[in-house]
Amino acid sequence: MGNRFRRLFVALALAWPGSQCHAVLGPTPVDTNWRVIDSPHFSFNVRPGSFAEQNIARIGEVLEDQYDTTLRVLDIRYSGRVSLFLYNSAADGDMESERAGKAYPDTETVRATSGPPLDSNLFLLLSHESNHVIQQNALGSPGTYFLGEGLPSAVLSERYYPNGTTFLYGWTASHLSQIPALSLLVDDSKWNSYDQQVAYNASASFLAYLLELRGPQLLKQLQPASSVSFTRQFQATYGRSLDEADRDWRAFCASRPR
């Protein structure tokens, strides 16, 4: 009898699906080795004694400026608190690289690697991911990767680092031949087939150009447009075709002093 019950318990233990979710397809568990530091709009979850914790004053200063900039440039109302989980390294956060991040707008959360150095790339990453949270909650889910990934970098503040239009327009001018037609870039089915640095920078540069030229109200109308309806929605919103705007944007960037 005892052996039979032991076999039963072993069988049940092997079949146990784990707490909350499926053991294979469910989300990975989260560890509790975090220290929380709050700023007016952010909750920074850092590893005790980490590089991020040592530099949290500077990180908070830059991101608070970015938060205000995003609201002002896009003329949106949002006052939620963004929680950032700053990992020591790619291995620590199970990320693809030492400068990688993910945003989870529904839970107002960001995960990002935040090891040294404390440079413009780190702040570009943290600002971009935080903007995902702010923008999606204020404007709704993007209908395309073009808006979803372009807009968070299109509104980067240049108060501390030249990650905004100074970089984007210069980058566009020097990469004109590599940038696919925007009518292709707005197609979600093709987005992942392009070099992701090109896709991200080109979409951000074009959206920054639209913001500078016509302001945020028209741009907001594009946020929900899907790949299927994007070019039609663009024509209806801006009164000209996406291809025409594409040509004007390239000429604008090329004509700027380097």
Residue 107 neighbours by CB under 8 Å, 6+ apart:
83
Indicate the DSSP class of residue 255: H
Please say which residue, 138 or 156, places its beta carbon nearer to other proteins: 138
Shortest reach from residue 32's CB to other proteins, in Å: 5
Shortest reach from residue 117's CB to other proteins, in Å: 25
Please say which residue, 107 or 255, places its beta carbon nearer to other proteins: 107
Shortest reach from residue 199's CB to other proteins, in Å: 16
Shortest reach from residue 142's CB to other proteins, in Å: 6
User: Are 156 and 128 a contacting pair, CB within 8 Å?
Assistant: yes
User: Are 203 and 196 a contacting pair, CB within 8 Å?
Assistant: no
Residue 9 neighbours by CB under 8 Å, 6+ apart:
none
- C-alpha–C-alpha distance, residues 39 and 93, integer Å: 23
Please say which residue, 4 or 258, places its beta carbon nearer to other proteins: 4
Please say which residue, 3 or 255, places its beta carbon nearer to other proteins: 3
Sites of contact with other proteins (CB under 8 A): 1, 4, 7-8, 11-12, 15-17, 19-22, 24-28, 30-32, 34, 36, 43, 45, 75-81, 83, 85, 94, 102-109, 111, 137-143, 148, 188, 220-221, 223-224
Give the residue from 118, 2, 106, 138 showing the smallest Cα distance to 61.
118
Please say which residue, 108 or 246, places its beta carbon nearer to other proteins: 108
- C-alpha–C-alpha distance, residues 162 and 168, integer Å: 9
